[in-house]
Amino acid sequence: MNKVESRIINVLRQGVPLRSRAIANVLGISRREVNHYLYSSLQPLVTQDPQYRWMLKSSPSQEQLSLPFAIEQEQSSLDELLNQYQQQVRETALEQTLRSLIDFSEE
């Protein structure tokens, strides 16, 4: 399995079904290249829903199949965006708590 194939699988491991265009945007490669791998070498590992979104097939042997590219894990853009969102939610909750405490102490 080459590096591009591994990166595609790592994006799909996030568990969110994605169209090939979204996968290509995350990886910074062409949609055509993503489709090439999805319809050829990755076909045994992936499936497509009626909305043309790709996801990993779920099977008992999936963990065994994913071991070769688990070695070279890299943090994807999706991970980074998720971390930023979670940080923003935490900061907003903290700000609301502090505001309520300040408002309570003024009364």
Q: What residue ranges do the domains of the chain occupy?
A: 1-74, 75-107
Which architecture does CATH list for 1-74? Orthogonal Bundle (1.10)
One pLDDT digit (tens) per residue for the chain, 107 residues: 899 999 999 999 988 899 999 999 999 999 999 999 999 999 999 999 999 999 999 844 444 444 444 444 455 667 777 778 788 888 888 888 888 888 776 66
Q: What is the pTM of this model?
A: 0.55
Within 8 A by CB and 6+ apart from 21, the residues are 31
Specify which residues 53 forms β-bridges with. Answer: none
